[in-house]
């Protein structure tokens, strides 16, 4: 259990944010099916990413860990070997969906399993489009455990109406091993890390933007060739520190090398709408990803209304944005949050329930979340229920830095799935967390 207490001196200094989790997963998957050696710098070595690494080790890939770097020796698209046992993915939904795509077109069978939380998450969104092109699976009601019967697939021609980078990436990874041209129409733009990395590794990929859609074409069975990767720091992880700085008086924080990819920078747009003082400095591009240095100051926040479109750019950041909204001077309305119901937990309900415990009025109407910090209510409980969700745990740890009452964050050990040094790093810049 983690206890978060009010701070008095503000959040100040410089903080190092670990490598981007989404890019870290892909930095293991794509080099493992390429030709040659890839050195990966600043990779996030959280439990989720370590599970991805162990999955590929189980399929015969040589991966050497040296401090915060990895060296991967890839031997081509069809170099993976059949694992001798089930592949345990722990809590990582990203790995589960991406590997389902990749392994569906291999020449061996495999079984994916996960922890209690991952085993409740739906896999039908990636299973169904793959079954349409000949993939074969055996699942627990479209959930893990998932047995994948690797086989030769027909060409993919899929209209992806659902805004999911995981499904899109799973289909793209399957396409790599399918002869001929594969097409994915992305109607709602999502994070594009897979496309960027595949292109840099020499995949035969072409992306045509037609009005507000992306039409992605991949010619399969073209070998990839390795190159070194530097993983930029994770904006999703930085968001906790950004909000802590904004809501606490006398705070000034600098964060360098943050990934501000325009397909996932919605949290910065939302906070700017709320009056946040955030300077974006020294923009540059590394490995096709846009990064920058951020300077954040204490701010008098106001509420805002966000529509469904911005949710696609920041769905993972709504728990911590809800904390910012709790200390604004006016109400906020966040629309189109249905995806929060099928994350590591039902995040939407957990946000509402835990805000209520903290005396913050909020309500859910359909897929919309309304937060009104001007409606005073009684503090009800200092026990924060996370349901094993790392982002809920970190968000309410930030709530505790301002609230005035100690918050006890239950099942806080799940923070290690994405941010192993969260407590250490927050305390180093003024936080007051105890384990």
Distances (CA, A) of 61 to 31, 55, 87, 378: 10, 9, 14, 55
Residue 149 is predicted with a pLDDT of 98
The reply to whether 2-19+232-434 and 21-222 are identical in fold is yes
CATH hierarchy code of domain 2-19+232-434: 3.65.10.10
Low-confidence ranges of the chain (pLDDT < 70): 344
Sign of the torsion angle spanned by Cα atoms 391, 239, 421, 263 = positive
Q: Could you tell me the residue ranges of all domains in the chain? A: 2-19+232-434, 21-222
> pTM of the full predicted structure?
0.94
Residue 322 is predicted with a pLDDT of 98
Three-state DSSP class for residue 59: coil
Active site members? 316
CATH hierarchy code of domain 21-222: 3.65.10.10
Angle at Cα 16 formed by Cα 11 and Cα 20, nearest 5°? 120
Residue 90 is predicted with a pLDDT of 95
């Amino acid at each position: 259990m983690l206890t978060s207490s009010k701070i008095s001196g503000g959040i100040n200094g410089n903080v190092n944010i670990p490598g981007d989790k989404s890019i870290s997963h892909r930095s293991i998957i794509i080099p493992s099916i390429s030709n040659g050696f890839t050195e990966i710098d600043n990779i996030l070595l959280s439990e989720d990413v370590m599970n991805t690494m162990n999955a590929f080790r189980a399929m015969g890939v040589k991966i050497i860990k040296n401090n915060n770097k990895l060296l991967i020796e890839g031997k081509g698209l069809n170099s993976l070997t059949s694992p001798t046992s089930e592949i345990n993915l722990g809590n990582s939904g990203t790995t589960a969906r991406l590997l389902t795509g990749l392994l569906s077109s291999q020449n061996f069978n495999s079984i994916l399993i996960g922890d209690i939380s991952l085993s409740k998450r739906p896999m039908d969104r990636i299973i169904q489009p793959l079954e349409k092109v000949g993939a074969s699976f055996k699942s627990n009601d479209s959930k893990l455990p998932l047995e994948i019967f690797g086989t030769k697939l027909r060409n993919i021609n899929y209209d992806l109406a659902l805004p999911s980078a995981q499904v899109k990436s799973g289909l793209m990874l399957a396409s790599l091993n399918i002869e001929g041209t594969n097409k994915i129409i992305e109607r709602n733009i999502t994070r594009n890390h897979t496309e960027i990395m595949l292109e840099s590794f020499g995949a035969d990929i072409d992306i045509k933007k037609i009005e507000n859609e992306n039409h992605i074409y991949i010619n399969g069975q073209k070998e990839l060739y390795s190159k070194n990767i530097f993983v930029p720091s994770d904006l999703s992880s930085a968001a906790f520190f950004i909000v802590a700085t904004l809501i606490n008086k006398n705070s000034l924080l600098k964060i360098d090398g943050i990934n501000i990819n325009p397909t996932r920078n919605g949290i910065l747009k939302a906070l700017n709408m709320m009056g946040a003082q955030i300077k974006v400095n020294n923009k540059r591009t590394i490995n096709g990803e846009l990064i920058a240095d951020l300077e954040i100051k204490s701010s008098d926040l106001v509420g805002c209304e966000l529509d469904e479109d911005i949710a696609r750019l920041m769905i993972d950041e709504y728990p911590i944005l809800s904390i910012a909204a709790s200390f604004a001077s006016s109400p906020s309305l966040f629309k189109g949050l249905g995806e929060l119901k099928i994350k590591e937990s039902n995040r939407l309900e957990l946000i509402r329930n835990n805000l209520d415990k903290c005396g913050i009025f909020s309500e859910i109407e359909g897929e919309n979340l309304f937060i009104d910090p001007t409606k005073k209510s009684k503090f009800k409980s200092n026990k924060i229920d996370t349901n094993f969700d790392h982002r809920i745990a970190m968000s309410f740890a930030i709530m505790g830095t301002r609230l005035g009452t100690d918050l006890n964050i239950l099942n806080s050990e799940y923070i290690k799935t994405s941010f192993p040094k969260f407590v250490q790093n927050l305390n180093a810049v003024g936080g007051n967390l105890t384990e």
